[in-house]
Structure formats: structure tokens, C-alpha cells
Amino acid sequence: MINNNLIKKCELISIKAIGEIFLIAIFFVSLSCETDIPETDTIPPEFDFKISGDGFDHTFNQDDIFNSFQLNLKENETYDFVFTAGDEGGLKYMQMLFAIDYLEFQTNIPNTWTDSNNGFSRTITWQGNVNNPITGNILIGTFIARGDENDSVSMSISLSMEDFGGKSGNSNTLFKDLNIHIGNHNTEIVEF
């Protein structure tokens, strides 16, 4: 016999997932519009970095004071992320850098991005085009937090982005390091 409550719950989950995908698609379309580079641009890019998994769901942005907290991730837990960056005067690049030993990506990186690995860290970068500037981009993926079987691990995810700086070429750059602690604990933000 089919459990009607289970069917209704699955239908609600499917509708919610479709709704979230639709919102991300609309956000991406509005984020990555063609733009003109202004004469001057003194405003740095903005970003959102959303992480969800293990009952946790939070979006970090440029207004957060990153050196006042750490994000505890549960060892061997799977997390989804959405990294978006944008600038009205055109985004020159956006980048995510992290230690390869501790974040195991489960996502293929789109071919419009570069993915490099020096044996210690992995850098995923999107590069804009000054001749065809757009206002931003988005990277969506999944990773597994891997710790050290004998101890917990502290690391960071470095997020950086830069605009074209207007036709004057004085780029505005934004760097943020998200402090991460991976271990056998709940996923949560711990403030210092």
C-alpha cells in the first residue's frame, strides 16, 4: 500500500527544489547581463557564498566580518554551495581557493572557468572579458568536507573578485577568507 503522506511530502520537496532552481536561474540571468564599463568605478564587487548541508543553510556576503567567526563543518558530510559575484561596471574575475586535502569536490567545473591544482591547493577562477563585459557570474556545486582521521582540521576558503575599475583601469578588489573547522561536530557558525 502506498503511503499518501509520503507521496505528499515528496511532492512538496520536488516543488521546493524546482522553485529553488528556478530562482537561481533567474538570479543568474539577471546577474550576468551585458554591461558597459563606466568611465570610473570606485565601488568594489559584491558576492554571496551560500553553504547548505547537515541541517545548515547560510549565505555569507561582503558585509560579514569574516575574522570574527568560523564555520564548523562536519567531517565526511556533503555540502552544497552557490558562489555568486557581481559588479554593475563589469566583473573582471571571481575566484575560490581552498586546500585540496579537505574539500573533495563532487562537481564538474564548467568549461568557462579554469581549474588549477598545485598539489596543495585548488583554485577555481572565472575571467571576464573587457571587450564583452558582463555584470557577474555564478558557480554551483557540491563538496565533501574531509578531515584528518586522527584530529580536526582548520583551513579556509578564500574568495576573491575584482571589477574592471572603469575605463581608468583602477580595479576594485575584494578578498574574504572563510575560516573553516572540520571535525566530528555539528555544522554551525562559531563566533569569536
Report whether pLDDT(15) > 60. Answer: no
Report whether pLDDT(1) > 70. Answer: no
Residue closest to 129 by CA, chosen among 76, 93, 175: 93
Non-local (6+) Cβ contacts of 183 within 8 A are 72, 74, 75, 147, 151, 152, 153
Structural domain total, the chain: 1
| pLDDT band per the 50, 70, 90 thresholds, residue 32 | low
| pLDDT band per the 50, 70, 90 thresholds, residue 169 | confident
| pLDDT band per the 50, 70, 90 thresholds, residue 24 | very low
Does residue 12 lie within any of the structural domains?
no
pLDDT in tens, 56-94: 999 999 999 999 999 999 999 999 999 999 999 999 999
pLDDT at 74: 97
Q: What is the CATH number of the domain that holds 64?
A: 2.70.50
Long-range contacts formed by 113-121: CB under 8 A, 24+ apart: 113/139, 121/97
pLDDT at 119: 92
pLDDT at 23: 45
Does residue 170 lie within any of the structural domains?
yes
Enclosing domain of residue 156: 32-191
Does residue 18 lie within any of the structural domains?
no
Does residue 7 lie within any of the structural domains?
no
pLDDT at 20: 53
Q: Look up residue 102 and give its three cell numbers.
A: 579537505
pLDDT at 148: 78
pLDDT in tens, 87-125: 999 999 999 999 999 999 999 999 999 999 999 999 999
Q: Look up residue 88 and give its three cell numbers.
A: 554593475
pLDDT in tens, 124-147: 999 999 999 999 999 999 999 998
| pLDDT band per the 50, 70, 90 thresholds, residue 13 | very low
Looking at every residue in the chain, the average pLDDT score rounds to 87
Dihedrals phi, psi of 163, to nearest 5 degrees: -100, 180
